[in-house]
Amino acid sequence: PHRPSKDITMNVYLTVIDTMADWEIGYLTAELHSRRFFRDPATACNLVKLGVTLDAVHSMGGIRYVPDLTVDTVQLQEDDLLLLPGGDVWQMPVVRPFLTLARDALDQGHNVAAICGATVGLASTGALDRRRHTSNDLGSLQAACPAYTGQSHYRPKPAVRGDNLITASGLAPLEFSYEVLKMLKVWRPATATAWYRLHKTRQACWYDELVASMSPEAEGPVPG
């Protein structure tokens, strides 16, 4: 039921792990599931929970997640996204299948987004050595991954997009979500800007801009 069809534009594969950091993906999963600000409300975006096995895991907040699919069965399509939230287990062998999938997906041109501890996991595979990225802290990344050689591609920013890869600090779930939503192109550019600035500044003028961006008159070309 989760494979793309003519009625489905994309799958977002959420890797669910024990100790998953609930807050780091909260903005993103809510907006993708509700589709309340999509440029086309009929757009289908499947949020698929991906596990190493089909056994339930528990987030850092104690929420129980039951995977829909196992990592070994996934074949990413052009518009799909592999989403790696933070957690305390990204340097443990149990999550290696997720990291192998992510590394190979990046090499094949598929979209991958990782935040907090997941960026450390990616660094351990060599996936960040030649790609623009960020993490929680460069020094901590180097200490955790002695073989990491991507220092020249590191950017000390909350969230960074480098072609088909988005990475972020665990302190930047809003910026992370903003970059992912722009990558997926399910929102109009004006909607994404207004949404981000409303949450960042809490100024009412950006709510007005957000509402205005949803009008038919606000539609513009899809950015490249």
pLDDT for 41: 84
Going by pLDDT thresholds of 50, 70 and 90, the confidence category of residue 208 is very high
Q: Structure tokens of 184?
A: 């997926």
CA distance 174 to 180: 10
- The Cα diameter of the chain in Å comes to 53
Go through 39-74 and write b for each residue having 16 or more CB atoms within 10 A of its CB, e for each that does not: beeeeebbbbbbbbeeeebebbeeeebebbbebeeb
- Binned at pLDDT 50, 70 and 90, residue 16 comes out as very high
Instruction: State the number of CA atoms in the 13 A half-sphere of 134 facing the CB.
Output: 19
Domain spans, the chain? 10-187, 189-224
For the chain, give the mean pLDDT.
93
**Mean pLDDT computed over 45-53:** 96
pLDDT attached to residue 221: 53
User: Nearest-CA neighbor of 23 among 176, 173, 134, 199?
Assistant: 173
Cβ distance 59 to 14 under 8 Å?
A: no
Helices (H), the chain: 26-34, 96-107, 117-124, 138-144, 173-184, 189-201, 204-213
Whole-structure pTM value: 0.91
Give the model's pLDDT for residue 4. Answer: 40
pLDDT over threshold 70, residue 188: yes
Calculated CA dihedral for residues 63, 64, 65, 66, nearest 10 degrees: -170
What pLDDT is recorded for position 59? 97
- Determine whether 45 is an active site residue: no
Evaluate the CA torsion angle 105, 153, 92, 68 in order and state its sign. Answer: negative
Could you read off the pLDDT of 214-223 as tens digits, one per residue? 988 766 554 4
pLDDT for 8 beyond 60: no
- Check residue 82 and report its DSSP letter: E
Q: Name the catalytic one among 45, 116, 145, 205.
A: 116
Homologous superfamily of 10-187: Class I glutamine amidotransferase (GATase) domain (3.40.50.880)
Residue 5 has pLDDT above 90, yes or no: no
Statement: residue 42 has pLDDT above 70: yes
Q: Which residue has the tokens 């910026």?
A: 175
What is the tens place of the pLDDT at every residue in 102-127? 999 999 999 999 999 999 999 999 99
